[in-house]
């Protein structure tokens, strides 16, 4: 089911989410399906549970490589090297801003059955995962953006 996306100002986006404890469970599967449906409906590349009002540590991502699910995810290492790129957020409609983040990360998470896995990510996937993990701790990209991007700006992609 497509859910309403909570927007900035709603407290559910500002709390710390609790770990998922029940795996291989119909209620978990239903929540993950709702998250994916809501993300695709909104044309997002990622969605964190608190964005649909669920205070649990789970995230869905699809940056064009298929649907990925991360439950109780943790970044276990990040590159020293950073990138500053544009971000938006479905919970902060109508705005965009530049954010500095590590270029590459190594992530540990559980799948829907409770099995541990690790993943190395770079590029847009690394960016999106970091953005989603921030949501699980009540952090929005606007808290860390270096500058806002305005719609009437010239493209400054290539300097």
**Residues belonging to the active site:** 132
**With b meaning 16 or more CB within 10 Å and e meaning fewer, what string describes 68-100?**
bbbbbbebeebeeeeeeeebbbbbbeebbbbbe
Nearest CA among 63, 144, 56 for reference residue 97: 144
**Shortest Å distance, C-beta 5 to Ni ion:** 9
What tokens were used for 29?
A: 């599967």
Answer for which of 47, 49, 52, 145 binds ligand GNR (CB under 6 A) is: 47
Which of Ni ion, ligand GNR, none does residue 60 bind (CB under 5 to 8 Å by kind)?
none
**Shortest Å distance, C-beta 128 to Ni ion:** 9
CA dihedral sign, ordered 85, 122, 63, 56: negative
d(C-alpha 99, C-alpha 87), whole Å = 7
Q: If binding is defined by CB under 5 A, does position 17 make contact with Ni ion?
A: no
Answer for which of 5, 52, 89, 133 binds Ni ion (CB under 5 A) is: 89
Residue closer to Ni ion (CB basis): 52 or 89: 89
What tokens were used for 49?
A: 């549970």
24-53 binders of Ni ion (CB under 5 A): none
**Shortest Å distance, C-beta 46 to ligand GNR:** 4
Q: Which stretch binds Ni ion (CB under 5 A): 20-28, 67-75, 86-94, 150-158?
A: 86-94
Binding mask 78-117 for ligand GNR (x = CB under 6 A): ---------xxxxx--------------------------
Residue count (the chain): 159
Cβ–Cβ < 8 Å for 46, 67? no
Q: If binding is defined by CB under 6 A, does position 56 make contact with ligand GNR?
A: no
Q: What is the dihedral of CA 43, 133, 3, 27, to 10 degrees?
A: 130
Q: Contact residues for Ni ion (CB under 5 A)?
A: 89
């Amino acid at each position: 089911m497509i859910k309403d996306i909570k927007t900035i100002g709603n407290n559910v986006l500002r709390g710390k989410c609790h770990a998922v404890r029940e795996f291989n469970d119909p209620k978990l599967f239903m929540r993950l399906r709702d998250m994916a449906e809501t993300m695709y409906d909104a044309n997002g590349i990622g969605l964190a549970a608190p964005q649909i009002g669920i205070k649990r540590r789970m995230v869905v991502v699809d940056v064009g490589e298929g649907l990925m699910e991360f439950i109780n995810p943790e970044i276990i290492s990040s590159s020293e090297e950073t990138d500053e790129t544009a971000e938006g957020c479905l919970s902060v409609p109508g705005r965009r801003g530049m954010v500095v983040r590590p270029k590459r990360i190594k992530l540990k998470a559980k799948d829907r059955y409770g099995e541990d896995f690790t993943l190395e990510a770079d590029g847009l996937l690394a960016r999106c995962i970091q953005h989603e993990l921030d949501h699980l701790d009540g952090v929005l990209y606007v808290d860390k953006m270096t500058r806002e991007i305005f719609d009437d700006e010239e493209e400054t992609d290539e300097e």
